[in-house]
Amino acid sequence: MNALLKRLGLRPENPGVFGGEWIGSGPVVERVSPIDGQSIALVREATAKDYEMAVARAAKAFVNWRLTPAPVRGETVRQLGNALRDVKSHLARLVAIETGKIIVEAEGEVQEMIDICDFAVGLSRQLYGLTIASERRGHRLMEQWHPLGAVGVITAFNFPVAVWSWNAALASVCGDSVVWKPSEKTALCAIAVTRIAERVCRATGADPAIFSLIVGDGKTVGRRMAEDRRLPLISATGSCAMGRAVAQAVARRTGRTLLELGGNNAVIVTPSADLDLAARGIFFGAVGTAGQRCTTTRRVIVHRSVEKALRERLVGAYRSLRIGNPLDRSNLMGPLINHDAVVSVGKAMRQLERQGGKVIYGGEPLGGPEYPGGCYMIPCIATARSDVSIVKEETFGPLLYLIPYDDLEEAITMQNDVPQGLSSGIFTNDLREAERFVSVSGSDCGIANINAGTSGAEIGGAFGGEKDTGGGRESGSDAWKNYMRRQTNTVNFSGDLPLAQGIQFGE
């Protein structure tokens, strides 16, 4: 452990605030691993004074960074991607240790960081505006994009490094600085990444404060960020309740938000579906990251004619699942983030049973020498009705509901009849069913997949959802526009001053 921490620039006690220099004068918090409950290292969190220093430095760094040519900004991000390549295995191991995520998923998360850096480097030469025909003789209209400012980024524990990179890589090539508030549960991952970014900035001559960090609780850091006019955009990933609080605070100062909130994702399985393919997609979607993804498959809406066959396949897959230390590559599921998460899933199961549902497999906590720390459990499969309240909530853990349906219209209605709208999928070999699902009257989610599960989004496509999921989009497509301000220019190259819409004013 000590060698790993040293390789990533971490110490037994680490300051949790960076704004060009490392400080931290708040409370010292111990970070323990959900793998075994053992201490990893200490983190000194932020005070209000620390917060002020970091945001002020990030705002100052922006003033110079915005003047740096975008391709030059891209060079810093290119080198950041290369630096991440150099430490991929080490950073992935820390992610696994601090979150309980299995090592192959942790490696995939770091690879996602590398990929988004590559994406952003290309983007640094493609921040295009428009030239627009004017209705006035001797005039031209032009639309251009300018850097926005210091951007606040609030991330959750389940993707402790990737979500920062989605925002930071794009925002920085757009000319913004970034102030990062990570989950306190994964503070060490955030400190390690910020130290990597600091080294890259010093090597390229960029101000290291363009990648600032503030570790602290919601009251000390999160609330201040939401209310801080120096942060024109707050990108927040987390629960729907957290997102609503952030959105309201930012709206009061007329700022912008980019929200990536909860998901209650469904897969529809039709009579024509390849059931083996569907079972594999649902299996990964439901138990990957121990069910702690916003894109986790939580509901399977299955046609009655294939319900029994699909259930048998899923139960068989769950029985074969190896659960244990996530650093062991033979295990496909590690612990949940903490004991409270296990308790939360148990409460949801009991509520489901009170509402007429039935657990058909799993749900038991795991203990003993093989499962130390109190954070392990067997993932659960249950039958349920779509209209009960617990099914409409997001239980952040490995709890999967099987819900029967009779016709596709009913299935789509069931899928859409929840407050969240992030990811969805349909397994079918019927072209009409597939097209219906992705049509305007089909899935109401930001992501709708055909013959693929709800998890596993690629960085080339815009990521995000509708309704209580927040409406934000990160990565892919034109998501870079979130991090810039749009400006329309009128250029008059004539000797006259005609008005638009043919208005005559005076002589």
The sign of the torsion formed by the CA atoms of 430, 431, 432, 433 equals positive
User: What residues does 29 pair with on adjacent strands?
Assistant: 43
Report, as residue numbers or ranges, the catalytic residues. Answer: 260, 294
Looking up tokens 């390789």 gives 7
For 142, half-sphere exposure in the C-beta direction (CA atoms, 13 angstrom radius) is 10
Residue-wise DSSP of 19-53: SSSEE--S-EEEEE-TTTS-EEEEEE---HHHHHH
CB atoms < 10 A from the CB of 13, how many?
12
Q: Measured over all CA atoms, what is the biggest interatomic distance in the chain, rounded to whole angstroms?
A: 92
Exposed e or buried b per residue across 131-151, where buried means at least 16 C-beta atoms within 10 angstroms of its C-beta = eeebebeebeeeeebebbbbb
- Are the beta carbons of 453 and 285 closer than 8 angstroms? yes
The two tokens of residue 311 are 């259930």
- Are the beta carbons of 154 and 247 closer than 8 angstroms? no
Cite the beta strand spans of 265-326 per DSSP E.
265-269, 297-303
- Are the beta carbons of 429 and 373 closer than 8 angstroms? no
Query: Can you tell me whether residue 125 is helix, strand or coil?
Result: coil
Secondary structure in 3-state letters for 57-107: HHHHHHHHHCCCCHHHHHHHHHHHHHHHHHCHHHHHHHHHHHHCCCHHHHH
The two tokens of residue 364 are 């038991």
- Four-CA torsion 303, 309, 314, 317, nearest 10 degrees: -160
- Kindly list the strands in the beta sheet with 39-44, ordered across the sheet, starting from the edge strand earlier in the chain: 13-15, 39-44, 28-32
Rounded Cα distance, 293 and 198, in Å: 29
Rounded Cα distance, 209 and 168, in Å: 12
The sign of the torsion formed by the CA atoms of 461, 285, 454, 270 equals positive
